[in-house]
Structure 1
Amino acid sequence: MTALSGPILLMLSLLFSLFSNPTSSVATDHKEVVCFVYHRFGDDRYPSTNISLADFEAHLQYLRDHDYQVLTFADAIDYLQSNQENRKTAVITIDDGYKSFHTNGLPLLEKYGYPATVFINTETVGGGDYMSWSELKDAGNRKIEIGNHTHSHAYFLNLPENSRYKTFDDEIRLSQKIIKEQLGLTPTTFAYPYGELDPKMEAIIRNAGFKAAAAQNSGVISAQSNLMRCPRFPMSESYAALDKFSSKARMNALVPKEETPTSFMMPEHHRPELTLQFVTGALQINQLQCFIQGGECQMTITEKEGETTLKLTSAGKLTRRRTLYTVTVPDKNGQWYWYSHLWIDPSVK
């Protein structure tokens, strides 16, 4: 038998290591998590933020029937950064902490044995339609992670810059302190009120030590995502039909190599240009679609040496406070990929 040379032995060793260890770091790079955001449950007074209990249970049943692991937001971030085996993974988040979650949503989660993450603004706890501290403590004993959603849930981008960042930082510290005093825990995850942030606010959250923060641009979280502004798919009566939910649950992350600009802030001319560069791979670029809320998308595509450069802009001036540029594209196997960029115009009240 001919002796194997050193390079061949090394190659065989690497291949054996890869295929005999499915939780190796090679697989970690391809992990993804689909995250959903809910607000109210079975409260039809507010259709724009409510979901019916029948629809919510249909979502949970879909996740069970299709073998998703459902994690808290914090645990999902740990999963993304771990060497655990790749699995279909979903996260259920609830913003604001309304009573209808404790009354209507939590019992359904318990029925399916699923955890979730509730982001609370500490100023409103116990008032009006909001859960009390005792209800939040009860939820925490029933697989619910408590996350930080600031103290006041203010429109921080409407504050003047000379006070905005101190106010934002002070509120983070205050709400962390209050949650610790009331619940005996310190949140490790955060959600921006209204999904609004600028680069300095993002830096404050990073420097505060949170492991991740949730925004409200839609999409799928990947191992390469900026964890200080994780995308989430909104779930309310307009989006809650099972076919819409399931299509989001099956979505993949379109991960740009380059994104210009990275900021969410609307430029003064109100026709922002977004440039994305990504690996073409198996993507069917001829089927790529662009959507702009309240506007018409103008798109330029350049393909070169296995990479695609996409330039997007609006045909007219954007007039909404928050506008999404969304890109979807299928691959040759029929799998769909999603990316969105949020533009925020604080001058719109």
Structure 2
Amino acid sequence: MLKFVLLILISVSLNAKSCAVLLYHHFSDEMPKSTSISPKLFEQHLQYLQVNEFKVLPLKTLLSKLKDNDLPDRCVVLTTDDAYQSIYTNAYPLLKKYQMPMAVFVATQAIDKNYKAMMSWNQMREIQGEYVKFYNHTAAHSHLLDLNKAQVKTQIEQAQNSLYQALGTTDKVLAYPYGESNLSILKQVEELDYIAFGQQSGVVSKASDLQNLPRFPMAANFAKMKSFQLKVNTLPMPLVKKRINPIIDKNPPMLNLTFEISQSKPQQDGFNCFANGGVDINWKDDKNVEIVAKKPLMHRRNKYNCTMPSQSKEKYYWHSVQWINPSIAE
């Protein structure tokens, strides 16, 4: 009987209702590698998704199915931040070719100021439709942590109004500039009735925070095919849902995770986390684990990435937290 129950749990976990959301910026061989993917490699991403029969969903469909806990297997969503010209020139033709949708998050002031690196409103109107939709990335792309509550609201609502006036956008979906937020901003965004995305890696599932949904960055080495294939096949770490304060108040910060079910000794041994300088992992019991970096985190934005093998050799569980030190300026 116990063996039968374990088999059911394994089957459920390997078919977890989840979706890998990918984050792109530039589609170019000429822009900074840290935020770019070549058009050739991006096409390889789309080819892989097509050949392997992934369900590439529009963002709006993802959010609807997430609320209903009805995400399909092998689910992927494509997103990009900042509305650069290379979306219009390089990404959009490929999206049409492979008939795959993408969500673009727009910082609207750059468009109003006609920055050459960005698409124009006319270009957005031209490509908006079946394969491209546009959403809120605030007005000025400011560090929201540097603003007061009224200023945060203004940044969000000004951008939403511009998107509505120019493109007819009504869906209240936000991507935080730089992926930065804190508990106060998360609560404020929830009160404003927005769903929001960060820039920490991981897969979206019922356990995800609707005001800080994860996305896998796709640029530089992270966009290479081996890394891409690993991430689109990733499963959500089976954790109890919990809102985490991403602000570093003690450096290095302590991350406490609670698993939904007890983890065996082999599972605990397979659980691993990564940060600059390494981490210490301390299992308090068979469900609760503490993770802390061995050294203070030195950048404004830092990540703990945690993985654990699943019963399938091809898939890993994944969970990530982006820690932010607002005292470090950019």
- TM-score normalized with structure 2 length: 0.89
**Structure 2 CA distance for partners of 1:80 and 1:156, relative to 1, 3 Å:** closer
What is the deviation of 1:74? 2.0
**Structure 2 residue 252 is matched with structure 1 residue 266:** no
Q: Identify if the C-alpha distance between structure 1 residues 85 and 79 changes in structure 2 by more than 3 Å, giving closer, same or farther.
A: closer
Query: What is the Cα deviation at residue 85 of structure 1?
Result: 7.0
Q: 1:276 to 1:188 in 2, by over 3 A?
A: same
Distance, in Å, in 1 between the alignment partners of 2:263 and 2:312 is 12
Any residues of structure 2 matched to 1:113-152 within 5 Å, and which? 113-125=99-111, 126-152=114-140
1:213: which partner in 2? 196
Offset at 1:326?
Answer: 1.2
1:203 to 187, 192, 200: 187
How far apart are the structure 2 equivalents of 1:46 and 1:289? Answer: 31
- SS of residue matched to 2:221: coil
Unaligned runs of 5+ in 1: 1-25
Q: Is the 8 A contact 2:28 2:90 kept in 1?
A: yes
Provide the residue aligned with 1:10 in structure 2. none
Residues 41 and 104, structure 1, Cα contact 8 Å, conserved in 2: yes
| Structure 1 residue 311 corresponds to structure 2 residue 297 | no
The aligned amino acid for 1:199 is L
Identify the match of residue 307 of structure 2 among 310, 328, 346. Answer: 328
Q: 1:184 aligns with which of 165, 168, 187?
A: 168
CA distance in 2, matches of 1:157, 1:222: 26
TM-superposed CA distance for 1:205, in Å, is 1.6
Q: Tell whether 2:216 aligns with 1:233.
A: yes
5+ residue gaps, structure 2? 1-11
Considering only CA atoms, is the larger Rg found in Structure 1 or Structure 2?
1
Distance 1:174 1:258, change over 3 A: closer
Query: What is the match of residue 347 of structure 1?
Result: 327
Q: Deviations over 1:234-274 (max 9, x none)?
A: 00122111111000011000032165x7110011x311111
The match for 1:174 is 158
CA contact (8 A) 1:273 1:311 kept: yes
How far off is 1:142 after superposition?
A: 4.2
**1:34 maps to which residue?**
20
Is residue 30–residue 223 contact of structure 1 (8 Å, CA) maintained in 2?
A: no
CA contact (8 A) 2:18 2:203 kept: yes
Count of matched residue positions in the alignment of Structure 1 and Structure 2: 312
Deviation at 1:49, TM superposition (A): 0.7
Task: Verify the 8 A CA contact 1:284 1:332 in the aligned structure 2.
Answer: no
The equivalent residue for 2:274 is 291
**Which residue identity does 1:32 align to in structure 2?**
S
Contact 1:217/1:342, CA 8 A, preserved across alignment:
yes
AA aligned to 2:190 is R
CA RMSD of aligned residues (A): 2.0
Q: Which residue identity lines up with residue 127 of structure 1 in the other structure?
A: Y
Query: Does the CA contact (< 8 Å) of 1:97 and 1:119 recur in 2?
Result: yes
1:107-142 alpha-carbon deviations (Å, 9 max, x no partner):
001100001100000000131200000111122134
1:88 Cα deviation from its structure 2 partner: 1.3
Indicate the larger mover: 192-201 or 37-46: 37-46
Q: What is the letter of the counterpart of residue 330 of structure 1?
A: P
Secondary structure of the 1:320 match is coil
Name the structure 1 match of 2:8. none
Residue 281 of structure 1 and its aligned partner are, at CA, apart by 5.6
Which residue is 1:16 aligned to? none
| 1:115-171, Cα deviation, whole Å (9 max, x unpaired) | 110000000013120000011112213421211000000012134xxxx21101011
